């Protein structure tokens, strides 16, 4: 029997052949890959991961209630997963994004598995940090990770938006509120440097989607402005003149037109009052023009975890109907949207998971 290192609560031993993805540095271990667990690791505890022959593979965070049974911290056996290790990971993640500060003051500083901190999201809006603890491992290390984020960024105000459905699958309850410092402003102004000029956006970190803003779409927003400017130039040339955009206003998005819009100021004034519900529409309203496909509970869980769902059984033919390969559907469970997915070669592959 192998000796368990101090600070390590137990071991996960994999089934034969299930170590292949970890040897490629994939950080996820599903429950179906686990042969046995030794020791008594609690939720979020650090465990050693071993192949069926006993070979050490990784240090990981254990999640006994999730089908994603463990998420790997490190593939270096000499690493000690402690306060200093987490502080170093956070510091390295923040340093990697430092060059982006000239482009925007809205930045994703920590991006989960990409920074060896699976389940942790940390976004910065000016002097405000917004975090999401989406897995049992980072939840168990919450306090020291918050300390590390404050130390690495100098931001003393941290707001917690750990309110997504992902936490439920980890056996964690949703939480939202001040994690460090003071309450955030109702709206935070952030700036992005486009190709020609700076853009300003108002971000509501309390009620906005995810942490408040689609930070990852910065390049697309800048590109959209550039393409629109080029369109105005080309139209003018076609008319034998010159032209440029003086003002640009969007009047519709999908099925919604300008008359359906409500200003951020009005929303802020309504807050969480009963009157605010009169302006809300179900997410499904925006998905009405996409064919729906009902899933079983197991199929829905697979899509939520980013895995494809096979639909090749005879019993699946009635559900699929005339669905063509390449078609995009709204996958649902219990009447609620689960994901936008593409049907290809008998598999349903998630395009965007909807954490509703």
DSSP H helical ranges for 170-239: 218-238
Task: Label residue 4 by pLDDT band (50, 70, 90).
Answer: low
Does pLDDT of 130 surpass 50?
A: yes
- Which tokens go with 105? 């003051």
pLDDT of residue 41: 95
d(C-alpha 75, C-alpha 81), whole Å: 11
Task: Tell me what the mean pLDDT of segment 157-179 comes to.
Answer: 92
Residue partners of 226: CB distance under 8 A and separation at least 6 = 194, 195, 196
What separation in angstroms does the CA of 29 have from each of 5, 23, 39, 64, 305? 21, 12, 18, 12, 11
- Residue 288 has, within 13 A of its CA and on its CB side, a CA count of 7
Q: Partners of 11 in the beta sheet?
A: 38, 48
What is d(CA 344, CA 308) in angstroms, rounded to the nearest whole number? 10
Cα 195 from Cα 117, distance rounded (Å): 33
Which of 67-71, 97-101, 277-281 has the highest mean predicted lDDT (pLDDT)?
67-71
Q: Give how far Cα 172 sits from Cα of 44, 101, 136, Å.
A: 11, 33, 7
Average pLDDT value over all residues in the chain: 87
**The predicted structure's pLDDT at residue 1:** 42
The confidence band for 199, taking pLDDT boundaries of 50, 70 and 90, is confident
262-281 burial by CB neighbour count: b if 16+ within 10 A, else e? eeeeeeeeeeeeeeeeeeee
Domains and CATH numbers, the chain: 10-74 (2.30.130.10), 83-190 (3.30.750.80), 214-279 (no CATH), 286-353 (2.30.130.10)
Q: Among all chains, which residue has been given the structure tokens 């003018």?
A: 236
Number of Cβ within a 10 Å radius of residue 105: 18
Model confidence at 19: pLDDT above 70: yes
166 confidence band (pLDDT: 50, 70, 90)? confident
Confidence of residue 81 (pLDDT cuts 50, 70, 90): very high
Tokens at residue 262, please? Answer: 């409500």
Helix (H, G, I), strand (E, B) or coil at 178: strand
Q: 63, 170 in Cβ contact below 8 A? A: yes
Confidence at residue 310, expressed as pLDDT on a 0 to 100 scale: 86
């Amino acid at each position: 029997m192998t000796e368990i290192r101090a600070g390590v609560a137990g071991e996960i031993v994999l089934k034969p052949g299930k170590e292949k993805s970890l040897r490629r540095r994939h950080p996820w271990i599903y429950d179906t890959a686990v042969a046995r667990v030794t020791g008594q690791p609690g939720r979020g505890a650090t465990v050693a991961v071993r192949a069926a022959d006993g070979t050490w593979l990784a240090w990981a965070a254990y999640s006994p209630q999730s089908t994603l049974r463990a998420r790997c911290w490190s593939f270096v056996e000499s690493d000690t997963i402690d306060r200093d290790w987490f502080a170093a990971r956070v510091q390295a993640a923040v340093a990697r994004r430092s060059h982006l500060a000239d482009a925007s003051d809205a930045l994703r500083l920590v991006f989960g598995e990409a920074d060896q901190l699976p389940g942790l999201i940390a976004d910065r809006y000016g002097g405000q940090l917004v975090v999401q603890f989406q897995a049992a491992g980072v939840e168990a290390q919450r306090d020291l990770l918050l300390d590390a984020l404050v130390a690495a960024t100098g931001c003393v105000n941290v707001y917690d938006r750990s309110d997504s459905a992902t936490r439920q699958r980890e056996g964690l309850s949703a939480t939202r509120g001040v994690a460090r410092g003071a309450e955030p402003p109702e709206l935070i102004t952030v700036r992005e440097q486009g190709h020609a000029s700076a853009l300003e956006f108002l971000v509501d970190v309390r009620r906005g989607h995810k942490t408040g803003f689609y930070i990852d779409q910065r390049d697309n927003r800048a590109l959209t402005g550039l393409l629109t400017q080029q369109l105005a130039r080309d139209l003018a040339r076609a008319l034998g003149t010159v032209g440029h955009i003086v003002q640009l206003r969007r009047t519709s998005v999908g099925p919604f037109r300008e008359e359906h819009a409500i200003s951020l100021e009005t929303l802020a004034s309504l807050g969480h009052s009963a009157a605010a519900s009169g302006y809300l529409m179900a997410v499904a309203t925006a998905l009405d023009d996409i064919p729906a496909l009902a899933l079983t509970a197991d199929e829905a869980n697979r899509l939520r975890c980013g895995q494809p769902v096979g639909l090749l059984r005879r019993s699946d033919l009635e559900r699929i109907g005339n669905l063509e390969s390449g078609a995009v559907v709204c996958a649902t469970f219990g009447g609620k949207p689960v994901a936008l997915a593409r049907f290809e070669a008998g598999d349903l592959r998630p395009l965007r998971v909807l954490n509703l």
